[in-house]
């Protein structure tokens, strides 16, 4: 018996697909190289943007045709899209061939659901909430170098455009000792980069009675184990980023000098409508604070264009903040309406305007990326190699600079010092520096 998993969305979903795979393999299933060879197909869904949902529904249509030729094929849908209010019923009506639908709060019951659908039952079970942390779920890691570790679940922020709090629930932090146990185990297994996951990692520990168990303290403890490894984290909300966290990163060699700090927009008016709870000025103060402690910090961000009521002046403010910060990487999105969110009821921006603005933003970031790349020439970075094609290796430095370099041997999983020799557009190329 073989399985195939379609994964959509964020790093959290990628890691949860590893848990789904772990459950399947513990029950004796093997991975299929393609869905045509599978006996069970799982859609781990996302609903942050409409494009994701459209893609999921399209792929479900393809699987419908496959099931017509393989009547015993089991089709499962889980994750954020399945968790949306009323979506399970809509999915079942639109795609009656689906055998199992479950949400974000009961993933750990997947092994039980497997037994039920294999016995001939169809199951729909979506919980509104659950306070039980899925700590004992087996995991089939998809990478031998990089690993994910959940430190918390849920979100309390309720940004006006975002559906995540509605489908992921309120923030719950994992006990510190459990996180540290996971990190220590991964280090002993040879993983070199461990990324701590949460919808807002800066909120870690806010739900603990002991407030000393906060995010900065957790970072410091994660970096205290013996071994050659790096700790990263995703994602930070600017309003909660503390100076203590930045000072901790600056003082610990095993903490990556990189931060993903989503600004979303440069206009204070738009930020207020988004319910982001900071101004552009306050955000820039955070950037200045980061660079005061970590001058060469790598920075990335999320930016949304076309948020309801966004004017040309608002968009100009966004372009200006991108110029001021000078991000290493920028993840750009066109605003996507999500029913049930406050932004869905606001005055919408025309699609043509959204498309024009995002093209301008991408062009600006490309120019910035090229300029930053040129400044790296001659510098040497400690790079964790995670790719090799037989001639050229690739990897990223602590500050998230991706570098390509020739190698006669496979260096994947190793740290090497690479000196940047030249650039091509915004890409870095270099040579291994012999010590």
Q: pLDDT (tens digit, 9 = 90+) per residue, 353-368?
A: 999 999 999 999 999 9
Note if the bond before 377 is cis, omega within 30 degrees: no
Residue-level pLDDT at 65 = 94
Closest by Cα among 300, 301, 302, 312 to 354? 312
Beta partners for residue 422, in sequence order: 429
DSSP string of 315-347, one letter each residue: HHHHHHHHHHH--SEEEEEE----TTSGGGGSP
Q: For strand 40-45 and strand 30-31, is the pairing parallel, antiparallel, or unpaired?
A: unpaired
Cβ burial of 253 (10 Å; 0-12, 13-18, 19+) is: exposed
Q: What angle do CA 241, 246, 251 make, to 5 degrees?
A: 160
CB atoms within 10 A of CB 197: 21
CB atoms within 10 A of CB 293: 15
Q: Mind listing the domains of the chain with CATH numbers?
A: 2-125 (3.40.50.12160), 380-432 (2.40.50.140)
> In the chain, which residues have pLDDT < 70?
130-135, 435
SS3 396: strand
Residue-level pLDDT at 103 = 92
Residue-level pLDDT at 98 = 96
pTM: 0.92
Per-residue pLDDT reduced to its tens digit, 60-79: 999 999 999 999 999 999 99
Closest by Cα among 362, 312, 302, 364 to 336? 302
């Amino acid at each position: 018996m073989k399985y195939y998993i379609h994964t959509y969305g964020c790093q959290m979903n990628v890691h949860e697909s590893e848990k789904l795979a772990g459950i399947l393999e513990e029950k004796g299933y093997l991975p299929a190289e393609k869905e045509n060879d599978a006996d069970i197909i799982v859609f781990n869904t996302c609903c942050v943007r409409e494009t994701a949902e459209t893609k999921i529904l399209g792929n479900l249509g393809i699987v419908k045709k496959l099931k017509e030729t393989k009547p015993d094929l089991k089709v499962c849908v889980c994750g954020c899209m399945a968790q949306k209010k009323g979506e399970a019923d809509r999915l079942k009506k639109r795609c009656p061939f689906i055998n199992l639908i479950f949400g974000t709060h009961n993933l750990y019951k997947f092994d039980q659901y497997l037994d039920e659908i294999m016995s001939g039952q169809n199951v729909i079970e979506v919980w509104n909430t659950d306070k039980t942390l899925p700590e004992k779920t087996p995991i089939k890691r998809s990478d031998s170098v990089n690993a994910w570790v959940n430190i918390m679940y849920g979100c309390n922020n309720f940004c006006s455009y975002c559906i995540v709090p509605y489908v992921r629930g309120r923030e719950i932090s994992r006990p510190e000792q459990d996180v540290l146990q996971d990190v220590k185990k991964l280090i002993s297994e040879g993983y070199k980069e461990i990324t701590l996951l949460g919808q807002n990692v800066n909120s870690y520990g806010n739900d603990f009675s002991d407030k000393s168990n906060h995010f900065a303290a957790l970072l410091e403890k994660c970096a205290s184990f013996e071994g050659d490894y790096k700790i990263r984290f995703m994602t930070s909300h600017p309003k909660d980023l503390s100076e203590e966290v930045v000072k901790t990163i600056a003082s610990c060699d095993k903490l990556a000098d990189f931060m993903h700090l989503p600004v979303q927009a440069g206009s204070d008016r738009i930020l207020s409508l988004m319910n982001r709870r900071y101004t552009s000025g306050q955000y820039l103060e955070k950037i200045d604070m980061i660079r005061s402690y970590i001058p060469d910090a790598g920075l990335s961000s999320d930016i949304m264009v076309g948020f309801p009521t966004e004017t040309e002046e608002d968009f100009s403010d966004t372009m200006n903040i991108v110029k001021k910060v000078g991000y290493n990487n920028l993840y750009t999105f066109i605003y996507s309406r999500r029913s049930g969110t406050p932004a869905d009821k606001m005055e919408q921006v025309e699609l043509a305007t959204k498309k024009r603005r995002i093209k301008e933003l991408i062009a600006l970031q490309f120019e910035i990326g090229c300029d930053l790349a040129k400044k790296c020439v001659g510098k040497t970075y400690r790079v964790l190699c995670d790719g090799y094609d037989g001639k050229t290796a690739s990897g990223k430095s602590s500050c998230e600079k991706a570098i390509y370099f020739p190698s006669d041997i496979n260096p994947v999983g190793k740290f090497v010092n690479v000196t940047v020799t030249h650039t091509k557009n915004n890409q870095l190329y270099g040579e291994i520096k012999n010590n």
